[in-house]
Amino acid sequence: MGGQACVFYGAAEFSRDTDLAILASSEQIRFWFLELRTPQLLMELVGQHRIPVQLFRQRPLLKVLESEDESLLTNLLTEEEHQIRDVDRHYWTPLKKELEMLRHARISRDS
């Protein structure tokens, strides 16, 4: 609408971008707040919607969004990513060993 407003006020050019409005359910918004890892998008979502209080309990770093400190949010998202990877590594390490044993057994059987 910004481009159209410029034309209305006498601008010589039309806007060259596309503005989209996406209707999202509260479940979709909840998912984005809990899973999204892009600081800029999280900041935009906060600008458009109030964060339900229960989401703060599920993902504490969302409290930083109210301060609008993007660099702090970026650092917290990086820490969160490292924690998730550590949990995944802990979960997958024994499974990886088991899969390797099965693969070696199959190779031995097939040869």
CA–CA distance, 52 with 26 (Å, rounded to integer) = 10
For residue 54, give its domain range: 31-110
Q: Closest by alpha carbon to 51, among 36, 33, 71? A: 33
Look at residue 103 and tell me if it is in a domain: yes
Q: Per the confidence metrics, is the pTM higher than 0.75?
A: no
pLDDT confidence of residue 99: 87
Residue 108 has pLDDT above 60, yes or no: yes
Q: Count CA atoms closer than 13 A to 24's CA, side-chain side.
A: 14
Decide if 13 is inside a domain: no
Give a yes or no: residue 17 inside a domain.
Answer: no
Answer yes or no: is 10 within a domain: no
Residues in the chain: 111
The token duo for 107 is 């190779």
Spatial CA neighbour of 60 closest among 86, 31, 33, 21: 33
Q: Is 26 inside a domain boundary?
A: no
- Does 91 fall in a domain? yes
Residue 64: the pLDDT is 79
Q: What is the tally of structural domains in the chain?
A: 1
Q: Look at residue 70 and tell me if it is in a domain.
A: yes
Q: What is the pLDDT of residues 42-101, one digit of tens each?
A: 777 776 666 666 777 778 777 777 777 888 888 888 888 898 889 888 888 888 888 888
